Amino acid sequence: MSQSVRTSPAGSGRALSEAYDTALLDLDGVVYAGGNAIAHAVESLATARDGGMHLAYVTNNALRTPDSVAAHLTELGIPTGADDVITSAQAVARLISEQMPAGARVLVIGGEGLRVALRERGLEPVESADDDPVAVVQGYGGPELPWGRFAEAAYAVARGVPWYASNTDLTIPSARGIAPGNGAAVEVVRIATGAEPQVAGKPLPPMHRETILRTGAERPLVVGDRLDTDIEGAFHGEVDSLLVLTGVTDGAQLLAAPPQHRPTFVDADLRGLLTGQPEVKEADGGFRCGGWTAVAGTERLELDGEGEALDGLRALCAAAWTAAGDGVCELDSGKALARLGF
């Protein structure tokens, strides 16, 4: 995929699981939410895997180790090995190891996933700003992470110790709704110190590099629920992407996506891996997909027709993105989305 401005979701005459050799799957909001499998995820992934697609799980969540993530997926009915899991903890640990000497002490603000990743790179995790760290790394530590951990980070960063973050996702999906993510915790330290961390996770290049190094993917398809991490990461990596609507992105956000946030394909859930994708065609001064036609009016997006709601959403994307060009569509989409149930 080139980085030219995308003005419409793409079509595919083949099932995506056949067109791409590796699915680079986000976890939270794609495979599970709050630890529970999302509807259709287990069966869809099994079918894709049985058909020969390599499944790799790529997460910005640095809390858990690859072993624990793999065990959780296996318990859900998705047989997974630790080598199939790539985390932002691994990406940030590699980044630190390339800039710091072997055996360097690193102050850890986060969970066990960070500690394991640092040790794999020959670095020594420490717990206090007074332990003479040469770097500070911050990753998601879960809802029980004590407030005092942010103070330890601030003390060290204020002394000039280099600061790294696994990722800066402001939110994370949970079984009860949307909760604060590591990005919210990073903001606490940023406000206290005025400093800026080096960030490794999606959508930035260190995470994409870590993923390709560990999977060896040649025709990867990024599968995610977030425009500003999964889809933007695919854009910067110049690979194709599938947005599933089981996580944080809603219809209005998709229609207003700037070029770097526009996915190649859009589907309701992971069943989208197992099918082709309908083509969106220019028609009647607008765009047609399935039984729907969408037109960008002077003030709003207009929709006419009937059929599968997703086809209507794809047509609306084409109308919105074409109207916006390399900007953000500001046309009113409320009535059209309500008609589709989005």
Q: What are the catalytic residues?
A: 26, 28
Q: What secondary structure does DSSP assign to 121-143, as a single string? A: TT-EEES-GGG--SEEEE----T
**Dihedral, 335, 336, 341, 342 alpha carbons, nearest 10:** -100
Alpha carbons 286 and 57: distance in angstroms, whole number: 37
Give the sign of the dihedral formed by CA 205, CA 171, CA 115, CA 186: positive
Alpha carbons 320 and 334: distance in angstroms, whole number: 13
Inter-helix orientation angle 88-99/112-120, to 10°: 40
| Partners of 76 in beta bridges | none
Alpha carbons 263 and 223: distance in angstroms, whole number: 9
Walk across the sheet containing 220-224 and list its strands.
Answer: 85-87, 54-59, 22-25, 220-224, 240-244, 265-267
SS3 state of residue 84? helix
Walk across the sheet containing 292-296 and list its strands.
Answer: 281-283, 286-289, 292-296, 301-305
CB 83 within 8 A of CB 214: yes
Q: Which are the contacts of 168, defined by CB distance < 8 A and separation ≥ 6? A: 182, 183, 186, 199, 201
SS3 state of residue 188? helix
**The Cα angle at residue 199 between residues 204 and 170, in degrees rounded to 5:** 90
